[in-house]
Amino acid sequence: MTDDFENSILLAYQGGTAPDLVGQSIDVKNFADIGAIENLRPYIEKDEEYQKVNEPFTHMFEGLNAIGDEIYWVASGIRSGVRIEYNKALLAASGFDSIPASLSDYVAMAKKITEDGAAKDPVTYGIGFTSSSPFERQLEMMAQVSGVFYYDYANGRFDFSGYKPFLEAGRELVAVAYPDQQGVDNMRAQFAAGAFALWGNASQEAGVFTNQFPITDFEWGVAEVPSLTGEIKGALQTNPNKGYIMMSSSKNKDAAWEVIRFFQSEEFLVGYMEGGNDLPITAYIDERLDKSKMGRLGDYSLLPYESVYPAVPSINLTGDNYRTVLWNAIMGYVDIDAAIEDLNTRYNQCYDDDIMYGSVRRLVIRDYDPMHPSAGTAEYLDQ
């Protein structure tokens, strides 16, 4: 039910058949607003061992797992932001030994590797993109570390204007990319086979290229995504995970809390993390891990500028979402300026309409800092 998980849980709640616990993949604010989920803070405050292991008050992210002082789930793991996985042999053959810090140099490198690969049999390419959310896996994250984000937290508006240079660079990259954009697993297999040099994805690739599509014919590296100028001006988005939400309809709340405690206990988490299944979000667990057991996951250790962004308000959008529109602009199906204007107009009109009808409130972060997006004070406005 991955594609319809949230609606399935909502229908179960409304029909009186919801489970006691669900995974954290639901919109917390929507469910909290209708009283469907339980505030875990009273349980947490009485449990010193849980606090020690999970550091819940340090990892409260507005709209994602908490609303104000209320805590609806606590993350025990975290998926890294996007990295660049690269084929060291293909880079070396074209005179490169690392991933450059600036986007223009990155584009130039991809072009050079594709040019050199044209004479090979089989032909090799500088970069590959999947057909599954291709903008998100590289270019969107390059924009983030350049200080560009699609929601203007300081003013409570959507703003896609800053993406233009990344769309222009994207067109150059697509022109020299592996020519067949396939599903993500197919493209992972192509990278593992040495078909192209540059691939973008997060820490789950540690397991992918060790177990699912093991790379045995070349050495692969993991690097930070480039920024527009080579300077880091914004946080790289990370995704907290491995959290559990208690439904308010549960008739076994104390027992459900014991289940949460078990899956977020020190013994369980150390074994899970040392198995290479996830990165720890807490300093307490991180200090207790034997990192030698984690395999390539250690290459994805969190960077100083990685952070969690406050949840962007969920709106009733008409038409294609921004990632689809921006990738269509990269592919040349629509004009770049027209795509940006369309998104700015459509997203903000739908946002304003939803606010007027009372289905969402405007999120503004006071003292917003793009390097520390969760550090400001959140306010929800009715207009």
Instruction: Print the domain residue range for 190.
Output: 81-202+220-236+317-383
Judge whether 211 lies within some domain.
no
| Torsion (CA) 164, 168, 170, 171 in degrees, nearest 10 | 140
Residues 89 and 180 in one domain: yes
Residues 195 and 143 in one domain: yes
Residues 167 and 246 in one domain: no
Residues 162 and 260 in one domain: no
pLDDT at residue number 53 = 97
Burial class (CB in 10 A: 0-12, 13-18, 19+), 251: exposed
Residues 351 and 276 in one domain: no
List, in sequence order, the alpha helices (H) in the chain. 5-14, 28-33, 41-45, 48-54, 88-93, 103-117, 134-137, 139-145, 164-175, 184-192, 205-207, 253-263, 266-274, 283-286, 322-330, 336-357
The total domain count for the chain is: 2
Q: How far apart are CA 56 and CA 35, in angstroms?
A: 21
Residues 133 and 86 in one domain: yes
Residues 286 and 326 in one domain: no
Judge whether 209 lies within some domain.
no
pLDDT at residue number 2 = 61
pLDDT at residue number 192 = 98
Q: Which residues of the chain have pLDDT under 70?
A: 1-3
Judge whether 110 lies within some domain.
yes
Whose structure tokens read 């080579």?
Answer: 230
25-79 pLDDT, tens digit each: 898 988 999 999 999 999 999 999 999 999 999 999 988 999 999 999 999 999 9
Residues 162 and 94 in one domain: yes
CATH number at residue 285: 3.40.190.10
pLDDT at residue number 1 = 59
pLDDT at residue number 295 = 86
Residues 265 and 377 in one domain: no
| pTM score above 0.85 | yes
